[in-house]
Amino acid sequence: MEQSHVVLQAVHAVSYLRFIVLFPLLGVLFNIFVGPRLGRKAVNLVAPGVVFLSFIFSFAAFLQLPPEGALVDTVYTWITAGTLQVEVALRVDPLSATMILIVTGVGFLIHLYSTGYMAHDEDVARYFAYLNLFTAAMLLLVLGENLLLLFVGWEGVGLCSYLLIGFWYTDEEKASAGKKAFIVNRIGDAGFLLGILLLFWSLGERGIWTLSFTAIQTHAGSLAVGTVTAICLLLFVGATGKSAQIPLYVWLPDAMAGPTPVSALIHAATMVTAGVYLIARLHFLYSLAPAALTVVAVIGALTAFFAATIALVQTDIKKVLAYSTVSQLGYMFLGLGVGAYSAGVFHLMTHAFFKALLFLGAGSVIHGMSDEQDIRRMGGLKEKMPVTYGTFVVACLAIAGFPGLSGFFSKDLILEETLASAHGSVVLWLIGTVTAGVTAFYMFRLLFVAFWGETRAPHDVARHVHESPTSMTIPLVILAVLSLIGGYFTLVPFLGPVFGGHHAAHGSALVKYLPTMAGFAGIGLAYQMYVRDPGMAERLSQQYASVYELLLNKYYVDELYDRLIVRPLVSASHWLWQVWDTVVIDGTVDGTAQTVEANGLLLRLWQTGNVQAYALSFLFGAIVILGYYLW
């Protein structure tokens, strides 16, 4: 697929884009300083309200977007150093317009949902302060016109992710899940920062000191291929951290310790797509480095497949969805990696709809089941939670790629492009297609086990199962509608001006429908295993115990990292503490003090405290000096 590098021509200066970021920030201030005093009702009104205002402004920006152009809001000049000038400038082009509509739209729905989900939590103002702060940081990330602003947003969403995963910080497991997310992300961020610096310096060597995307795009062609490849790979390290790809995906499943709406907003719909956005935003660099693109595609495909297989056997409803998210993000990277940037972003959007819906549905189930998360103790929820069930079915069909639903269009587009593109290959396509089947299987396994059949909950829990309040079901319904029709949003032509030459893939009919058929096969297999013959899953897990154990233990990756990285690091730190710090440093410091003290003990024997004794020695001293001078 040939990329023509277009720099958007028509740029209109406007001054209202700043408000998109500002409103949620005001919400943060409100929730920190005023909210706790005014109480739950005020917080429930303001927190979603500010995001809705952002949504309105985002929609206005979307409507005003000139064809083949962009809107820019230059707020002020942040840094001036020699010829380097960094502006705080926000930019809306088709790509960032898509992102801000997703962030504020889905974000608003999830804020609304949170008012119901967090109704029994004491600390709701703190929760919404974090959630608003996240929204502001995410909007800054996608609106920022240069890498520096993007990086500020990038770190901001990472911070909020940490704060929200560990929101119930009194539970040590949850607090450490937050730490894990933060630390793993730091590894990625180190790569990201190195990538930015390398890009900055290598352009600077040519006299172009800039961080602005448009300027980078104009001058990227002058860089050597090796340099561009290194930059792209370093940036991709950052993307694997934030977007939970191999090898840095391990934090995302643990991140499910946070409140479920957080999982929906941050760890499914928006923040984890930041890596996808980053690569899409810098697609002109990646197009110059085919090797880096191949790495992106391969990592994406592998992540999609491995995460999907782990999701097959998980029993925690949120863990299944977490691995599913990792897997779907893998699809997006596969799309980006084969040069089908619009397809990747398209899947980002549809995934935001149906995965947010799945998480919110799961949250509704957890809420209704008195905080039960294990699907083995669910079952029979179909009748008791009709709205949740109905919307969940839509989401499952969408992610499984049922024809006509949103996931069908975006996933098929990625797979078609994988086969058709010059960067793609049959192997990658095959992995993607198999993964499509696996995806359909684990989603419908979840659906059948959790919603169908007889209830397996303890009696007192089962009695209390109830449909969630309206504030929670309305977002579910809206997201279900979006999951249904999202595929008809003509995002690919809309994004055309950003990514250049639109490419329509034409595969043979068989190839085109194979992923869909794989999806149907997955659904059918799940039906067979969990509805018609419920004992079958049990028998299979015993028959292939080693495979089952391997998947159940997530390929022992956490254990591997623990052995290879965490434990050596801990023991090295322990050594530094016990030997280096306690013995060497403390020994030196304490030794100095002890030497001084011992000398003092000896010297103080001179100090009799008798003034006349001092006077006597004074006299002798005077006589000696006098004697010296007289003779």
Partner 1 sequence: MVPVSYHLILSGILFTIGVIGVLLRRNTIIIFMAIELMLNAVNLSFVALAHHLGSVDGQLIVLFVMAVAAAEAAVGLAIILLVFRGRETINADELNLMRW
Of 54, 91, 92, residue with least CA distance to 74: 91
Does position 612 bind partner 1 by CB under 8 A? yes
- Smallest separation, CB 580 to partner 1 (Å): 37
- Smallest separation, CB 597 to partner 1 (Å): 13
Using the minimum distance from each CB to partner 1, give the nearer residue, 544 or 620.
620
Q: Pick the stretch among 84-92, 316-324, 367-375, 606-614 that binds partner 1 (CB under 8 A).
A: 606-614
- Smallest separation, CB 609 to partner 1 (Å): 3
**418 and 411 Cβ atoms separated by less than 8 Å:** no
Does position 605 bind partner 1 by CB under 8 A? yes
DSSP symbol at 6 = P
- Smallest separation, CB 603 to partner 1 (Å): 9
- Smallest separation, CB 629 to partner 1 (Å): 17
- Smallest separation, CB 623 to partner 1 (Å): 10
Question: How far is it, in rounded angstroms, from Cα 595 to Cα 165?
Answer: 51
Instruction: Count CA within 13 A, CB hemisphere, residue 373.
Output: 15
Collect all residues with Cβ–Cβ distance below 8 Å to 195 and sequence separation of at least 6: 231, 232, 233, 234, 235, 237, 238
Collect all residues with Cβ–Cβ distance below 8 Å to 381 and sequence separation of at least 6: 365, 368, 369, 388, 389, 450, 451, 455, 465
Residue 247 preceded by cis peptide, ω within 30? yes
- Smallest separation, CB 604 to partner 1 (Å): 4
Using the minimum distance from each CB to partner 1, give the nearer residue, 76 or 606.
606
Q: Pick the stretch among 469-477, 502-510, 556-564, 612-620 that binds partner 1 (CB under 8 A).
A: 612-620
Burial 145-179 (b: 16+ CB within 10 A, else e): bbbbbbbbbbbbbbbbbbbbbbbbeeeeebbebbe
Using CB under 8 A, which of 591, 608, 621, 625 touches partner 1?
Answer: 608
Does position 616 bind partner 1 by CB under 8 A? yes
Handedness of CA 311, 316, 319, 325 (dihedral sign): positive
Question: How far is it, in rounded angstroms, from Cα 426 to Cα 418?
Answer: 8
Using the minimum distance from each CB to partner 1, give the nearer residue, 84 or 623.
623
Q: Pick the stretch among 74-82, 502-510, 529-537, 613-621 that binds partner 1 (CB under 8 A).
A: 613-621
Question: How far is it, in rounded angstroms, from Cα 426 to Cα 431?
Answer: 9
Q: How far is CA 197 from CA 78, 151, 226, 277, 591, in A?
A: 18, 12, 15, 19, 44
Using the minimum distance from each CB to partner 1, give the nearer residue, 540 or 596.
596
Q: Pick the stretch among 53-61, 461-469, 507-515, 615-623 that binds partner 1 (CB under 8 A).
A: 615-623
Does position 615 bind partner 1 by CB under 8 A? yes
Q: Pick the stretch among 342-350, 359-367, 448-456, 599-607 that binds partner 1 (CB under 8 A).
A: 599-607
Query: What is the per-residue binding string for partner 1 in 557-596, x denoting contact by CB under 8 A?
Result: ----------------------------------------
Count CB neighbours of 372 within 10 A.
18
Using CB under 8 A, which of 67, 207, 535, 609 touches partner 1?
Answer: 609
Using the minimum distance from each CB to partner 1, give the nearer residue, 63 or 603.
603
- Which conformational region is residue 82 in: left (phi greater than 0), alpha (psi within -120 to 50 degrees), or beta? left
Of 358, 351, 360, 310, residue with least CA distance to 331: 351
Q: Pick the stretch among 52-60, 165-173, 341-349, 600-608 that binds partner 1 (CB under 8 A).
A: 600-608
Q: Dihedral (C-alpha) 226, 230, 232, 238: value to the nearest 10 degrees?
A: 180
- Smallest separation, CB 625 to partner 1 (Å): 15
Does position 604 bind partner 1 by CB under 8 A? yes
Give the chain's radius of gyration (CA, Å).
Answer: 30
Of 267, 308, 265, residue with least CA distance to 131: 265
Question: How far is it, in rounded angstroms, from Cα 509 to Cα 515?
Answer: 11
Q: Pick the stretch among 30-38, 53-61, 318-326, 603-611 that binds partner 1 (CB under 8 A).
A: 603-611
- Smallest separation, CB 598 to partner 1 (Å): 14
- Smallest separation, CB 618 to partner 1 (Å): 10
Count CB neighbours of 394 within 10 A.
26
Does position 607 bind partner 1 by CB under 8 A? yes
Q: Pick the stretch among 288-296, 315-323, 526-534, 610-618 that binds partner 1 (CB under 8 A).
A: 610-618
Using CB under 8 A, which of 610, 629, 630, 631 touches partner 1?
Answer: 610
| 87 beta partners | 77
Using the minimum distance from each CB to partner 1, give the nearer residue, 63 or 601.
601
- Smallest separation, CB 584 to partner 1 (Å): 33
Using the minimum distance from each CB to partner 1, give the nearer residue, 509 or 611.
611
- The two tokens of residue 571 are 């023991």
Using the minimum distance from each CB to partner 1, give the nearer residue, 546 or 612.
612
Using the minimum distance from each CB to partner 1, give the nearer residue, 579 or 623.
623
Q: How far is CA 51 from CA 75, 111, 359, 572, in A?
A: 21, 8, 20, 46
- Smallest separation, CB 615 to partner 1 (Å): 6
Q: How far is CA 302 from CA 109, 142, 256, 473, 596, in A?
A: 32, 27, 22, 35, 64
- Smallest separation, CB 601 to partner 1 (Å): 9
Q: Pick the stretch among 114-122, 198-206, 383-391, 602-610 that binds partner 1 (CB under 8 A).
A: 602-610
Using CB under 8 A, which of 426, 485, 619, 626 touches partner 1?
Answer: 619
Of 562, 408, 414, residue with least CA distance to 483: 408
Give the residues lining the site for partner 1 (CB under 8 A).
Answer: 604-605, 607-612, 615-616, 619
